[in-house]
Amino acid sequence: MQTRKPLYLVDASIYIFRAYFSMPDSIKGSSGQPLNAVYGFANFLLGLHEKSQGQYYAITFDESLDQSFRNEIYPAYKANRERPPDELKHQFKLCKKLAQALGFATFSSNRDEADDLIGTIARKLRPKNFRMVYVTSDKDIAQLMQSTDIFWNYAKDDKLKVRDIKSKYGVHARQLRDWLALAGDSVDNIPGIPGIGNKTAASLLDKFNSLDGIYKKLHKVPDSGLRGSKRIHSLLTAHKEMAYLSQELATINSKAKINCPVAGLRKKPTRARDIHNFCDEIGTGNNLRNRLLKTK
C-alpha cells in the first residue's frame, strides 16, 4: 500500500495571537507600526518548516476575527471575546502576506472560520493519498481526525494520534462535537445544556455513543447508573433544542467554497524578490530579512 503524504493544515490565528502577546511590543517597522506579531509568526513558520521538512502545507486564516456564518445561527457565538485591537488586525494581513512570500498556500474566508477551511481541505485531499497533520491547539479540530492523522500542538510539541484523543479529552475524536453539544464551550460561547459539565457529557457518550443515541434512548437515562441520572434526564428533556443548536455550532463545516488543488498546496521555493518586497513594505531591518531569505 502506498504511503500517504503528510499535508500540514495550520490554524494561523492561534500562532498569530500567541506571537502578539508573547513578543515585545517594542518591535516596530521603520514608520513606527507594530510588528511583534509578524516577527513571532515568522519564527513559527520558519520553525514549522524546519521541523516538519514537509512539501505540502495549507495556512488558514480567519478573515473576520469576530464574525462567521455561525453568528447567523446564534448571534451570541464568540460574543464573549474581546475584539482584537486594530494594530493586531493589521498584522493579521501582514502575516498572510508573509506566508505567501515564503511560498506557502494560504486560505481565508469572510464567512467560514479557519477550522472550516481546514475541514474542507482535509475532505478534498484525503482521497488523493494524503494524511492530515493538524497544526493547532484547538481541540475542536480533533473531530476531523481519522486513523492516519496527527494532531500537533506545535507550541508544546505534543503530537496525538486519533487513539490518543480519548485519554486527552475523555471522549473519542468522533464524539467531540457531541461532547461540546452537551457540555458547551465557554471559549466559543457555545451554550450546551445548563447543568451538564464535561465529565457528565463524557459519561453520557460513553453509555449512549452519540447525541442522537442519547435522545433515541432518553427513557433509559434515569436507570443508567449515572450519578444524578433523574436530574440529567430532566435537563436533557428540557434543553434538547439547545443541545442540537450547540452541536450545529460545534460542527466543523467541511464544505466551504474554496479551491485547493494538490499542486497549489506544494510549498514553493522562496524567491528573494518576494522577500525583499515584503520586507520593504513593512519597513523591517536586515535581521528578519536575512532569516527569511535563507528559507528554501
Residue 177 C-beta-side C-alpha neighbours within 13 Å = 17
CA–CA separation, 205 vs 213, rounded Å? 8
Residue 182 CB contacts under 8 Å (≥ 6 apart), including other chains = 192, 193, 196, 200, 201, 204, 205, 211, 214, 243, 246
147-166 pLDDT tens trace: 999 999 999 999 999 999 99
Same-domain check for residues 36 and 91? yes
246 pLDDT higher than 60: yes
Mean pLDDT of 1-9: 86
Distance, CA of 264 to chain centre:
21
User: Is residue 254 within 8 Å of 123, Cβ to Cβ?
Assistant: yes
Same-domain check for residues 177 and 164? no
The position carrying cell 467531540 is 176
Single-letter code of the amino acid located at 125? L
For position 173, what pLDDT does the model report? 97
For position 289, what pLDDT does the model report? 94
Mean pLDDT of 70-88: 89
Same-domain check for residues 190 and 273? no
1 pLDDT higher than 60: no
The position carrying cell 484525503 is 126
Range of the domain at 229: 173-250
Distance, CA of 236 to chain centre:
29
- pLDDT band with cut points at 50, 70 and 90 for residue 89: confident
Mean pLDDT of 167-190: 96
7-16 pLDDT tens trace: 999 999 999 9
The position carrying cell 479557519 is 114
Residue 231 lies in a domain: yes
Residue 163 lies in a domain: yes
Lowest mean pLDDT among 20-24, 26-30, 64-68: 64-68
Residue 78 lies in a domain: yes
Same-domain check for residues 157 and 178? no
Same-domain check for residues 194 and 158? no
Same-domain check for residues 136 and 275? yes
Same-domain check for residues 51 and 108? yes
Mean pLDDT, rounded, of the chain: 95
For position 172, what pLDDT does the model report? 97
100 pLDDT higher than 80: yes
Same-domain check for residues 276 and 208? no
Pick from 135, 149, 142: which is nearest to 165 by CA? 142
- pLDDT band with cut points at 50, 70 and 90 for residue 65: low
User: Is residue 134 within 8 Å of 151, Cβ to Cβ?
Assistant: yes
Same-domain check for residues 57 and 142? yes
216 pLDDT higher than 80: yes
Residue 296 lies in a domain: no
Mean pLDDT of 193-220: 97
85 pLDDT higher than 70: yes
- pLDDT band with cut points at 50, 70 and 90 for residue 43: very high
For position 129, what pLDDT does the model report? 95
Give the domain CATH number at 110.
3.40.50.1010
For position 87, what pLDDT does the model report? 83
Same-domain check for residues 64 and 79? yes
Residue 79 lies in a domain: yes
Going by their DSSP bridges, the two strands 56-62 and 5-11 should be labelled as parallel
CA–CA separation, 115 vs 143, rounded Å? 11
Residue 114 lies in a domain: yes
CA–CA separation, 263 vs 54, rounded Å? 14
For position 2, what pLDDT does the model report? 65
Number of domains forming the structure of the chain: 2
Single-letter code of the amino acid located at 166? K
Same-domain check for residues 101 and 202? no
133-145 pLDDT tens trace: 999 999 999 999 9
Lowest mean pLDDT among 81-95, 117-131, 138-152, 268-282: 81-95
For position 296, what pLDDT does the model report? 76
Residue 295 lies in a domain: no
| Cα–Cα separations (whole angstroms), residue 135 to 153, 157, 285 | 6, 10, 29
- For 34, which DSSP code? B
Residue 157 lies in a domain: yes
Give the domain CATH number at 219.
1.10.150.20
Mean pLDDT of 282-295: 91
Same-domain check for residues 282 and 202? no
CA–CA separation, 123 vs 140, rounded Å? 16
